[in-house]
Amino acid sequence: MTAPDGQKMWGGRFERAPDASFYEFERSWSFDRRMLPQELALNRAWARAIAAAGILTDEEAQRIVAALDEIEARAKSDPAWLDASQAEDVHHFAESALIEKLGPLGAKLHTGRSRNEMVATEFRMYVKDATRELRSAVALLARAIAVQTKTNLGIPMPGTTHMQHAQPLLLSHWLLAHGEAFQRDAERFAASAASADACPLGSGALAGCAFPLDRKALARDLGFSRITANSLDAVSDRDFALEMLFALATLAMHLSRLAEDMVLFATPEFGFIELPDEYSTGSSLMPQKKNPDAWELIRGKTGRIYGALFALFTTCKGLPSSYQRDLQEDKEPLFAAHDQALAMLKIAAATLAATKFREARLREASQDPALVATEVADYLAAQGVPFREAHEIVGKVLRAAEQEGKSIREMPLDRLAAFSPAFGRDLSTVLTLESALARRGVAGGTAPGAVRAALEDFNARLAKLEEKP
């Protein structure tokens, strides 16, 4: 069996057709067909550019552009046409379809160019589009966070370090902490788009185009803000894709951390949230179960996205200068990571929006007196006791309280006086949850006023992101 015949892009110097199994192995149409919109846009711009360079007449360029429009329309309305194609890759597909329509005129379009620069250009265009889409999806999640923050503004929660009770927080402060991470992700996607925003066209196979091409005009026509500086670099470089994958991996890491908090909060031990039925599943065996599958799968899928980043790093490692066929391996991991991340973002946003935080349970958990131990040390420090000493004193008080089976709030003042003469009646005022929260009014702190201001600032940035992803 041999590979399908039809218009080949490189058949001339070959006596025999490729082996069918090898053809299946080397072709990329099954996945790079995803870049057909970019391919057709590139072809239209190329037709105009080589007309300007005197290779086509304006009338020929117009006929090519019109035929490409028809190809685009058919591709949209007739997916079976794409499914049935035996094309080697997306470039081959578009060229064959054009030649089928226009004959020899269609065969003129490839003048002065190489698939090496085309694939680099289209992949950059893809990254620019995909990162915009990802920014919109990040905005969806950030919006869900902003809404929950506003709804739950005054609810306290026990804050932890090392998973041990540390100091009280506002739940809204915890929500915005995750929100800030996602805002940074949106910025990272913008940065990877900016990195992709240089047009390689005119680089040829590796050495540059031999026709008088206006590269800058061509780049502008395709929505690029600049051209690549070196033809050899332009056909080898996949940094922009690595940057997008790094941004995706970081986003996935942030999603997995939110997921882990939610999984813990859904346990009976925490009991901080009620899982939404719509985004949970049950057990086939244990009738009582409601599982946090949405969050578990988000956490779980993070691994694939890291895998995609490392797959491309590994592909690029040690490649000699110029285009190498290995680079065809760049697309599948990025496409898959893009799809997974979008799905993860959408499910995270919807699940978070549908989650009910249990105020009563959060308030109860925040009453743990251990959470105000720092307040007692601060109190002593405010009376002039050196902080290191104050820390030591409070530690001893806590140990004594523990031995007596009391909380620090229950220690009578005369008992406390034995530890330090600095303890006074007003101590009880700092031992409250409200006081511990209110004292942290510094910008970025967890006091109610500071969190309200932070939410306002968060919303202002989010509105910009939603407006212009």
Q: What are the Cα distances from residue 72, in Å, to 37, 38, 39, 50?
A: 7, 11, 10, 21
119 contributes a contact to ligand ARG by CB under 6 A? yes
Stretch that binds ligand ARG, among 112-120, 134-142, 435-443, 446-454 (CB under 6 A): 112-120
> Hunting for tokens 């806590």 — which residue is that?
398
136 as an active site residue: the answer is no
For the bound state, the minimum distance from the C-beta of residue 217 to ligand ARG, rounded and expressed in Å, comes to: 24
Does position 334 bind ligand ARG by CB under 6 A? no
Residue numbers 120-149 binding ligand ARG by CB under 6 A: none
**Is 254 labeled as catalytic in the residue annotation?**
no
Helix (H) or strand (E) holding 170, with range, is strand 164-170
User: Contacts with ligand ARG: how many residues (CB under 6 A)?
Assistant: 9
Residue 116 binds to ligand ARG (criterion: CB under 6 A) = yes
Pairing of β 226-227 and β 198-199: parallel
Contact between 327 and ligand ARG per CB under 6 A: yes
CB of 463 to ligand ARG, least distance (A): 39
H or E element, residue 97: helix 90-102
Binder to ligand ARG among 115, 173, 301, 338 (CB under 6 A)?
A: 115
- Candidate list 162, 192, 284, 407, residue with the active-site label: 162
Distance of alpha carbon 355 from its chain centroid, rounded? 22
Q: Which of 62, 136, 291, 328 binds ligand ARG (CB under 6 A)?
A: 328
Q: Compute CA distances 154 → 29, 275, 365, whole Å.
A: 55, 21, 15
Min dist CB 28 to ligand ARG, Å, is 4
Using the rule CB under 6 A, is 33 a contact of ligand ARG? Answer: no
SS (H, E, C) 325-389: HHHHHHHHHHHHHHHHHHHHHHHHHHHHHHCEECHHHHHHHCCCHHHHHHHHHHHHHHCCCCHHH
**What amino acid is encoded at 114 in this protein?**
S
Q: Alpha-carbon distance 13 to 116, whole Å?
A: 19
Site string for ligand ARG, 72-111 (x = CB under 6 A): -----------------x----------------------
Alpha carbon 112 to its chain's center: 37
Residues in contact with ligand ARG by the rule CB under 6 A: 28, 32, 89, 115-116, 119, 325, 327-328
Where in the sequence numbering do the catalytic residues fall? 162, 283
